[in-house]
Amino acid sequence: MMADPSNATRPRLSAILSGWTPQLVLVPTLVAALVYVVIFSLWTIWISVSKSTLLPNMAYGGFGEYAALWQSKRWIVSYQNLFLFGTLYVVGSLVTGTLLAILIDQRVRFESVWRTIFLYPLAISFIVTGTVWRWIFHPQTGVEKALHDIGWLSAQFDWITDRDMALYVVIFTGIWHSSGFAMALILAGLRSVDADLIKAAQIDGASMPRTYRKVVLPTIWPIFVAVTVVLLQFAIKTYDLVVALTQGGPGVATTVPAIVVYDLMFQRGQIAQGAAAAVMILVALALVLVPYAIWSGIRAKREAAHHG
């Protein structure tokens, strides 16, 4: 707590300034955050209800662009894709990450090597990831070609060009990229569990899988919630991965909301509708983050009550 300098008896300018240093230091950031978070959001929201087309036109145009957006097949497909992608990507990353974390938790040799191998995709851009996996998945260059070359001529693996399967290629690649992140956090969680708890379970006669399922994993569930929220956020913002991997195709099979936003804003010159789509992304994020924030707040309060 700072001494309030405003009621100092003989205020010197330097003394006043030094008393306010922490606040002054934060002013630039505060201004930037205000502009970036508040003003930019309001601005985009206003554009979404304006008469803008190719160029911004700030006259009020009503909610027509939202209606048009929800009537476009492309947008509806992209929202459906987001749900499927988001669900499977998060679940897949969590399951893979948990499995890897448990395996590494078995006091394996060269632990840091294993961890580095599973975590390195996180350091690589979605663009690079998508490009490489496209080559691997593409029938002319990748797995199918290799299978043909070793003599299995009837082999078929063309998910990436298949309307019904292409989204699963995106999901797989997403999991490949992010499961290491889940692993790292879950592993840290596993390590924070009291070793006596595991000993007790062993003495109670629980098998290894049962020990993890019934004792260890349930105690670190808050980590799962946190990882889920972070991954859901990634999923909602997903753009680069799809652009590099499938460019939203074939057709609109793998389109996601972020791609629609870009197309509307910068390819089709429908700025207002693009802004409306961007607002919908914000809404989706809020649907995930607001409940999480409230839940965290309640938990923090409850914990404080426990200790205090």
Q: Which residues 104-143 are close enough to bind other proteins by CB under 8 A? A: 104, 106-108, 112, 114-129, 131-136, 140-143
Residue 282 binds other proteins (CB under 8 A)? yes
Q: Which of residues 21-50 bind other proteins (CB under 8 A)?
A: 21-23, 25-26, 28-30, 32-34, 36-41, 43-44, 47
User: Exposed/middle/buried for 32, CB within 10 Å: 0-12, 13-18, 19+?
Assistant: exposed
Helix, strand, or coil (residue 51): coil
Q: Residues of 176-210 as b/e, b for ≥16 C-beta within 10 angstroms?
A: bbbbbbbbbbbbebbeebeeeebeebeeeebeeee
Query: Least distance (Å) from other proteins to the CB of residue 163?
Result: 17
Residue 49 neighbours by CB under 8 Å, 6+ apart = 60, 61, 62, 63, 65, 272, 276
Q: Which of residues 46-105 bind other proteins (CB under 8 A)?
A: 47, 56, 96, 99-100, 103-104
Binding mask 202-241 for other proteins (x = CB under 8 A): x-----x--x--------------xx--x--x--xx-xx-
Q: Which of 191, 210, 213, 214 binds other proteins (CB under 8 A)?
A: 191
Cβ atoms within 10 Å of 67's Cβ, excluding its own:
11
What is the spatial distance between Cα 62 and Cα 259, in angstroms, rounded to a whole number?
24
Query: Least distance (Å) from other proteins to the CB of residue 120?
Result: 6
The token pair that represents 22 in the structure block: 């922490």
Q: Which of residues 161-190 bind other proteins (CB under 8 A)?
A: 176, 180, 184-185, 187-189
Number of residues that bind other proteins (CB under 8 A): 110
Query: Least distance (Å) from other proteins to the CB of residue 167?
Result: 19
Q: Which of residues 253-272 bind other proteins (CB under 8 A)?
A: 258, 261-262, 265-266, 271
Residue 230 neighbours by CB under 8 Å, 6+ apart = 181
| Closer by beta carbon to other proteins, 4 or else 164 | 4
The token pair that represents 159 in the structure block: 């998910």
